[in-house]
Structure 1
């Protein structure tokens, strides 16, 4: 069956006589040669612009490297930059999510309006016929855009070219076209802002990568046997079958993890006196700290989520494979930056069973925080990390087996809190505004 003509076809058809002459005019050979020469010139300009852009990028990289090296000499400044840049990335990621949602709605409205206009093609044909009878010679090529169709209708009504019985229909079409033109402008504005945000997040991610590399370079210089510890950690992880066994094995048999666990124990004892205090977010301001700002038990209502995303499973619900969810699962954007929800020492960082890449923090006081499903972890065992510090990056697909079982199309981060080896509900620990950022 032959398809009905679209609005664009009908608009052009109204001026078929004028466009036919243009279509039948062939481009002379000299003009074709000129076009070829012009294309070559344009290509040369594009190459020159690409070279200039590459040179600018190299200069920016060199400047960034020098800046990061200077920052690296002051651990407090480096920590501040790490946390601030990671927060900037998270903020822009949120703006991108919101802009994409708005664009989806706007594009849907545009399609509805186009469908409505297509359904009025008979009216449009009559209006165009009236324009032809009035002897107007509007260039047909301009009418492929809603803006030009709207202008033609407005001009026709102004000149009285539309017969009275068609004026009402023409005005209704003009209103719809006006709404479509305004909608297209909104879409163009949103797309421009989205492109700018994506450029910004790419720049921030480049900076964040350099900061993380400098942090890990310093860590490596302090821990001479770092590679051996990583290898031993993976070997030990294969000897246990569950998370509690892994935690116990790491903190008992691995030197750096054991040191981290002991440091967490001492910090918990030192902060016990303040366990009943009610601190606010300001307690995390000190970037030079080398132990938790407050006892983990006192941090209820203060901790940020480690990633932007949609909560797809909550504590106590089904885990998708016949069991009960012992933590929360957050669907994220591919490549999202993961930050620490709390202060703590890394006691495991690497692959484990069906969890993909797994990070375990000892937060002191018998509390452990487990984060799984990342593609790459950027911290080492024994390292102390601050709340909001970047520690890992998501991949493009889910890495957690239980999530894969439900055919999740997005990467998914799994977060679990434990007290003395038993999973607990992390809900009371999240900051009040986190419920707005992570949608359930």
Structure 2
């Protein structure tokens, strides 16, 4: 395994640990920082990798994993600090009394505190009482000290997060730029078909629906044979999602305007990397109807994967892509680190402001994509 692949594997291994650390915001934030460091090392190694596109794709993914984890870790840190400050405010009177008692103990020698006007017996009894009280008093002091130390640590983590975020956002932007250039420079991809631009444009202009365009697309070209459908079907339930995100709407589910689409709508972060779930031929790339930029992939005969809503698309029609190859980026822009921190302090948003549409078509008919992907199968 190359070093860059090993670093990426570390990042992927860390993420479940980060997200699983529900009650330990400090460890969550620290693991996220390690993941961003690993992504930075992977970016350094990518320039010397034999397959720069694959290396940079892994690097962008590693940055995305790290930034997602840091966002979650920082959110937990802020919530935990708010809880502790609320507890300390609620205990203000108790803390004042405790400080007063401690000040008295420090001001008066212990021997004087033990003396009692009733004589030796009273002194002995007061000594026994003080011995009983002291452990409880010490416990309260230790508890207060631990809470104050935790608040200090959480505040320090938030202050260091801005620098970590800035470095991570700079790193992922550098990796995206390098990836776009590497894709543009790539010349080693096989070409399965050559589309007639005039016929493709005519189909595009005459199509009023995605279904009509997809149906007409398959009849445009005579191309080399594709892998058998059985091979693609064997991957059912194990395909990776094309981008990091959460399902916003499922197959046939209406949106706020009452519009139903025959696919999944995935909420992603701005500029999220989109990759092909399996090896496939690019059948179309570019704007289509109201779907924004669309990438239509053909992984097997009479099977199409439609990815809509991209801001930037990679590759050329007819190219055969390996599984996990980059096909584009989502829209939007990364927030500045300071804006990200302000949003975290207010507890607002999860940063997934873009939407990727995923449709799977077999034999000309749309099919629910969810069972095909490991993250969405039921």
Specify the alignment match of 2:354 in structure 1: 411
325 and 187 in structure 1: CA distance in 2 versus 1, 3 angstrom threshold: farther
Unaligned 5+ residue runs, structure 1?
1-60, 72-76, 137-161, 253-257, 277-294, 398-407
From 233, 257, 262, the equivalent of 2:222 is 262
Q: Give RMSD over aligned pairs.
A: 4.3
Counterpart of 1:371 in structure 2 is 307
* Match in the other structure for 1:115: 86
Alpha-carbon shift at residue 297 of structure 1 (Å):
3.1
1:62-73 aligned at under 5 Å gives the runs 67=47
Q: Which runs of 5+ in 2 are unaligned?
A: 1-42, 108-129, 334-350
Partner of 1:389: 325
Deviation at 1:168, TM superposition (A): 5.3
Pair 108,302 (structure 1): closer, same or farther in 2 beyond 3 Å: closer
d(CA) in 2 for partners of 1:124, 1:363: 67
Cα offset, 1:384, TM superposition: 2.1
CA gap of 1:308–1:343, structure 2 versus 1, over 3 A, is same
Q: What SS does structure 2 have at the residue aligned with 1:213?
A: helix
Match of 2:36 in 1: none
Q: How far off is 1:114 after superposition?
A: 1.0
Instruction: Determine whether 1:102 maps to 2:73.
Output: yes
CA distance in 2, matches of 1:133, 1:94: 53
Query: Is 1:300 aligned to residue 236 of structure 2?
Result: yes
Q: Which residue number corresponds to residue 425 of structure 1?
A: 368
Aligned equivalent of 1:210: 178
Alignment partner, residue 245 of structure 1: 212
Query: What's the counterpart of residue 93 of structure 1?
Result: 64
Task: Give the number of equivalent residue pairs.
Answer: 294
* 1:185 matched to 2:153: yes
Deviation of residue 329 (structure 1)?
A: 1.3
Greater CA drift, 354-363 or 96-105: 96-105
Please give the secondary structure, in 2, of the residue aligned with 1:210: helix
Distance 1:360 1:118, change over 3 A: same
Contact 1:296 1:365 in 2 (8 A): no
Partner of 1:8: none
Supply the distance in 2 between the matched residues of 1:119 and 1:299 (Cα, whole angstroms).
Answer: 56
Deviation per CA, 1:272-300, whole angstroms, max 9, x where unpaired? 4xx65xxxxxxxxxxxxxxxxxx433332
SS of the equivalent of 2:183 reads: helix
CA distance in 2, matches of 1:121, 1:426: 55
C-alpha separation in 2, matches of 1:175 and 1:420: 67
CA contact (8 A) 1:89 1:201 kept: no
Q: What SS does the corresponding residue of 2:206 show, helix, strand or coil?
A: coil
Q: Distance in 2 between matches of 1:308 and 1:187?
A: 29
Measure the CA separation in 1 of the matches of 2:189 and 2:368: 38
TM-aligned CA distance change 1:220 to 1:85, over 3 Å: closer
Is the Cα contact below 8 Å between 2:271 and 2:332 reproduced in 1? yes
Counterparts of 2:239 and 2:296, CA distance in 1? 16
The Cα shift of 1:133 comes to 6.9
CA distance in 2, matches of 1:121, 1:200: 39
Call closer, same or farther: CA 1:312–1:428 in 2, change over 3 Å. same
Query: For each residue in 1:14-48, what CA deviation from the matched residue of structure 2 results, as whole angstroms up to 9, or x when unmatched?
Result: xxxxxxxxxxxxxxxxxxxxxxxxxxxxxxxxxxx
1:68-89 alpha-carbon deviations (Å, 9 max, x no partner): 7xx7xxxxx43xx323432343
Which of 341, 357, 364 matches 2:293? 357
1:126 CA drift (Å): 4.3
SS in 1 for 2:222: helix
Counterparts in 2 of 1:315 and 1:117: CA distance versus 1, 3 Å: same
CA separation of 1:344 and 1:336: change in aligned 2, threshold 3 A: same
- Per-residue CA deviation, residues 421-440 of structure 1 (Å, 9 max, x unaligned), is 21012234224xx359xxx9
2:254 maps to: 318
1:336 deviates by 0.9
Instruction: Give the CA deviation at 1:370.
Output: 0.3
User: Scaled by the length of structure 2, what TM-score is found?
Assistant: 0.63
Whether 1:309 and 2:245 are equivalent positions in the alignment is yes
CA distance in 2, matches of 1:368, 1:414: 13
